[in-house]
Amino acid sequence: MKVIIPVAGVGSRLKPHTHSMPKQLLEIAGKKILNYIIDGVLELEPSEMIFVVGHKKEAIVDFIDTNYKGYNYSFIEQTVRDGDGSAVRLGLKNVKFDEDVLIVFGDTVTDISYKRLLSAVDLPDCIVLGMEVENPSHYGIMNVMDNMDVYEVEEKPVEPKSNLAIIGSYYFKSSNILNDMLNNFYENKITEKGEFRLIQAIRQYIQVRDLSVKAAKVDGWFDCGRPAVVLAANRYFLEKNCSNGISLRDDSVIISPSFVAKTAVVDGSVIGPFASIGEGCVIKNTVVRDSIVGSKSVINNLNLRESLVGSEVVLNAKATKINIGEKSEVDFYVE
């Protein structure tokens, strides 16, 4: 099996973080987004991982070369951002023989065992992963039968027939069939809203070729394109992977679920719940909860919540001394 991982997106909704790094290298619960994706597919023992790179490609290449030596992988560049179908088409150029292929988009963090999903003896021609959502008109949607056969896909329907959103992970039994479809769209300039979309191929699988398409539901999925979603993913994976309770670290209190890197220094602080502190951070006289602090950042005398702090950031505030009597109320605001 080959695995194609498109990681060419700019991440415009995550600026200013993505000015200096690709969004796939943001940290969630002590791991990079790309760690979750790669570690999840490696349990399949793929013959090759193919990364479709673009924005800040050097950082992606350096991260993979540093952390995944010994595995078989390759890179191909998407110089024109003309749709997810185009990215997959480029990735398929590195698939030399007809074989099955798993596609996982690089800003999609999913709580799933791909090995368990693909352990069936008789797999369909295509599997589309999905999750039930509250606002289906914001997503590509699958309409399915009781046996999970997909009979229709719609892109952001005004009046959705289901709430099963397409989450950006797909399995195809034949890379040749998919490649032929995507090449046909590209050569004949068949687009959807001006882009070459993978949903076009799914639609053709169902409506034209009568190939079997199944849906598979997941319980945890985060499309990490906005700060609020990144923080939600942080909460989810901290809660899943960390035990509850309160612990002491020197003169600081760590409230679980939280992650504090071993090389981080915390002094006179309260960390958590739902806080992630990266490698090499220095946190002094500070409260951090429901937040992510990137590696090598320094924070002094602050109360942080629902915050996303990048790497190598310095945040200093002056401590306040106050002598106040009973039945008083004081509000402090930091502009």
Cis peptide bond N-terminal to 227, omega within 30: no
- pLDDT the model gives residue 210: 82
214/255 same-domain check: no
- Torsion from C-alpha of 130, 132, 134, 138, nearest 10 degrees: 20
Amino acid at 209: R
Shared-domain flag, residues 155 and 303: no
Would 194 be classed as within a structural domain?
yes
- Asked if the structure places residue 296 within a domain, the reply is yes
* 173/152 Cα distance (integer angstroms): 19
**Which ranges of the chain does DSSP label H, i.e. alpha helix?**
17-20, 33-42, 57-67, 84-92, 114-117, 175-187, 198-207, 227-241
> Which secondary-structure segment (H or E) carries 211?
none
pLDDT given at position 142: 95
Q: Are residues 24 and 96 in the same domain?
A: yes
Residues 311 and 213 occupy one common structural domain:
no
Q: Residue 163: phi, psi to the nearest 5?
A: -115, 25
| Dist. CA 156–CA 159, nearest whole Å | 9
In a domain? residue 82: yes
Domain-terminating residue out of 227, 261, 289 = 227
**What pLDDT does residue 22 have?**
85
Same domain, yes or no: 223 and 286: no
The answer to the question of residue 46 being in a domain is: yes
Q: What pLDDT is stored for residue 317 in this prediction?
A: 86
Of 177, 197, 227, the residue that ends a domain is 227
Side chain identity at 237, as an amino acid letter? F
Strand 308-309 and strand 291-293: pairing? parallel
What is the Cβ-side half-sphere exposure of residue 318, based on CA atoms within 13 angstroms? 3
Q: Is 70 a member of any domain?
A: yes
Residues 258, 162 share a domain: no
What integer pLDDT is reported at residue 107 of this predicted model?
81
Q: Give the per-residue pLDDT at 326.
A: 67
Pairing of strands 126-132, 164-172: antiparallel
- Residue 54's nearest CA partner among 87, 17, 88 is 87
**Is 196 within a domain?**
yes
Task: Provide the CATH number for the domain around residue 200.
Answer: 3.90.550.10
Is 306 in the same domain as 221?
Answer: no
Residues 87 and 171 grouped into a single domain: yes
Q: Are residues 127 and 161 in the same domain?
A: yes
- In this prediction, residue 238 carries a pLDDT of 95
At how many degrees (to 10) do helices 84-92 and 175-187 cross? 120
Instruction: Measure Cα distances from 317 to 147, 253, 314 in Å.
Output: 58, 20, 10
Whether residue 116 sits in one domain with residue 66: yes
pLDDT digit of tens for each residue in the chain (335 aa)? 999 999 988 777 778 877 878 888 999 999 999 999 999 999 999 999 999 998 889 999 999 999 999 999 999 999 998 899 999 999 999 898 899 999 999 888 999 999 999 987 789 999 999 999 988 998 899 999 999 999 999 989 999 999 999 999 999 999 999 999 999 999 999 998 889 999 999 999 998 888 999 999 998 899 888 889 999 999 999 999 887 888 888 899 999 999 999 999 999 999 999 999 999 999 999 999 999 999 999 999 999 999 999 889 999 887 767 767 666 666 766 55
Report pTM.
0.90
Check if the beta carbon of residue 8 is closer than 8 Å to that of residue 54: yes
The reported pLDDT for the residue numbered 11 is 72
Residue 326, in any domain of the structure: no
* Domain count of the fold of the chain: 2
234 domain-assigned: no
Quick one: DSSP state of residue 25?
Answer: G
How many distinct helices (H) and strands (E) make up the chain? 8, 26
Q: Considering 172, 199, 227, which residue would you say is the last residue of a domain?
A: 227
Specify the CATH number for the domain of residue 294: 2.160.10.10
Residue 251 lies in domain: 243-316
Q: Are residues 73 and 177 in the same domain?
A: yes
Task: Return the structure tokens found at 191.
Answer: 């687009």
DSSP line for 214-281: EEEE-SEEEE-SSHHHHHHHHHHHHHHHS--SEEEETTEEEESS-EE-TT-EEES-EE-SSEEE-TT-
Q: Do 178 and 206 belong to one domain?
A: yes
